[in-house]
Amino acid sequence: MKTKFEIAVAKIEPYQTYFVFGVSIAFFGGLIIFGGVWALVIAVVCMFVGTMLGLIVGAEMMRRDIETEMNALRFQYEAASELAYKLAEELNAVAQRAESAERDLLATAAEKTALRAQLDAREGGTA
């Protein structure tokens, strides 16, 4: 009694060349088809990796640009703070000079009033 495999081989024997030819066509056709599918999968993966790489590189470049801008802004802020401090000092100095000048003016006005009163008293006494 023959096994099913032996029976199948006996039936295929006259068609072996065609069978091998068909198997090779199926193999290379499947390779092309699955290779194409794999090519699509690889293309999608490459696009995904490229997109991620682009995002990472773009984020790093954006971080560097922001860091550069922040450094420039810090420098400008420090310069503006120093200028504001100097202007505040100048304003205080000017305000002190103005108060001093006002006190001197009031003292001069008081002295002038006292001298005018003395002059009026002398003119009134001799007249």
- DSSP secondary structure letter of residue 127: -
At residue 60, the pLDDT reads 87
At residue 81, the pLDDT reads 96
The CA-based angle 63-66-69, given to 5 degrees, is 150
At residue 45, the pLDDT reads 78
Calculate Rg over the CA atoms of the chain: 52
56 burial (CB, 10 Å; 0-12 / 13-18 / 19+) is: exposed
**Domain residue spans in the chain?**
4-126
At residue 8, the pLDDT reads 75
Q: Which residues contact 12 (CB under 8 A, 6 or more apart)?
A: 19
Instruction: Please list the rounded mean pLDDT of every run of 10 residues in the chain (127 residues).
Output: 76 71 73 70 75 83 91 97 96 96 94 91 74
Does residue 16 contact residue 9 with C-beta atoms inside 8 Å?
no
